[in-house]
Every structure is written in C-alpha cells, then in structure tokens.
Amino acid sequence: MAVPRVLVYGGKGALGSAVVNMFKTKNWWVCSVDLFECEAADCNVTLTPTDSWTSQAEEVSSKVDGALGDSKVDAIVCVAGGWAGGNAASNEYVKNCDLMWKQSVWTSVLASQIAAKHLNSGGFLLLTGAKAGLEGTPGMIGYGMAKAAVHQLVASLSQPKSGMPENSSVVAILPVTLNTPANRKAMPNADFAQWTPLDELASRLVSWSAGEDRPPPSTNLLQVVTVDGVTTYTPVN
C-alpha cells in the first residue's frame, strides 16, 4: 500500500508539533509549512515573514509546488494560529486584529488554496477555529473576529462549486483552551483538567485524516470541549 501523505500548516507550533509527531507514529509522510523548520517532518516548506498576503500566497504556492510536484496529499491540517487580547479602546487594538488575521485567516485561506490543487479526491481539510468565535469576544476582539472568519470560510468551502476536490471533507475544530506550554505559563493556576491535551486532539485529527469516524458532510464545525480530562467533539447546530 502507498504511504499516506499529509501537509501540516503550522507544523512547528505546539499543536502543530504534536500533530506532526502523531502522524509520524502512524507512518504517514509529513510535509510541514511554517515560518520555522519542523525537524520531525519528512519535508519542510519554510516561509518568510511578510506584511503582504499576496506575497505570502505566491511564496507558499511556489514552495509547496516545488516540494510536492505533481503528487497529491491525502489530508491538509492547518493548525497555525495564536492569541491576542484587547478591546476597541486598547492601544494595541488594530495591531492585534492585524496579527490575528495573519495568524488565523491568512493561513486558513492559503491552506485551502493548497487543498484545491494538491488534495486528493475524497481527501480531508482541517482548519482551526475557536468556540469563542461563535459569540462576541469584547476582551479579545481581533481573535474572535478572525476565528469567526475561519468558520465562515469552512462553510463556504463545504459547498458545491467551492473549488475543493471531489468528495473532499472540510472541517473546523473549535477548541476552548489547549494544554500548551505557553498557556500553562500564562495561566499557571488554571485547572489543566479542563484544557484539551494536544495528543488527544492530534490523535483525533490523524483518525479523521485516515477516514476513520470522520464527521459527516453535514457537520463542518466541531466544538472541542474538555471537562475533567474527558474531551468531546460536538457539532455546532
């Protein structure tokens, strides 16, 4: 059997590294796209920081084409992102909104562009939203706005004539808080049993990518909630 292939957008971050490692334990070939090299990946597409979305798109397209050639991948998992707070009165308001747009929306759009060209028919595209993006986020406006945009992008990509490959699946995960080193440092007194473990989420993404228990076509947004160490994946109505 051919070795399954996945492209992980954001493969060097905390969640991205966990996802890359989990795919490798399941004997997938992994290509990481990030600003930094992921040592565990079989292939790295390393990007140059830029303030131009179109320039970033051109670089991503050229480098991914060079890395993959005419070959396809079975899944594309975009776990790039970040967090910044601030309301409309904050001195960093526009700056943080810009950062959130770059980290969540740029990456999601570029991952979907890669999928339109390099994802196999019947393949799987995973984008990362947030449960907070389902409602108002007055203390972190840029974050909520960007995540809500990702949710809308997934809704559009899931429709006919979106440009996605035939019979492909598009899903967004909507976590609350991930159990990352950065979050632990920022909130050392939190109850970590209410945070989603990275390996738990990574394992689920590998299963979906392999076609196992993949959400049905009618389910595009999945809330990821962990309570007392137990993680559930609930469709957004």
Residue numbers annotated as active site: 143
Element (H, E) at 73: strand 73-78
Neighbours of 190 (CB within 10 A): 13
**What are the backbone dihedrals phi and psi of residue 141, each rounded to the nearest 5 degrees, phi first?**
-65, -45
Complete DSSP assignment for 83-125: ---B-TTSTTHHHHHHHHIIIIIIHHHHHHHHHHHHEEEEEEE
Q: Which of 153, 79, 82 is nearest to 113 (CA)?
A: 153
| CA nearest neighbour of 88 among 137, 26, 151, 18 | 137
Residues 84, 130: contact at Cβ < 8 Å? no
- What does the alpha-carbon distance between residue 64 and residue 78 come to, in Å, rounded to a whole number? 14
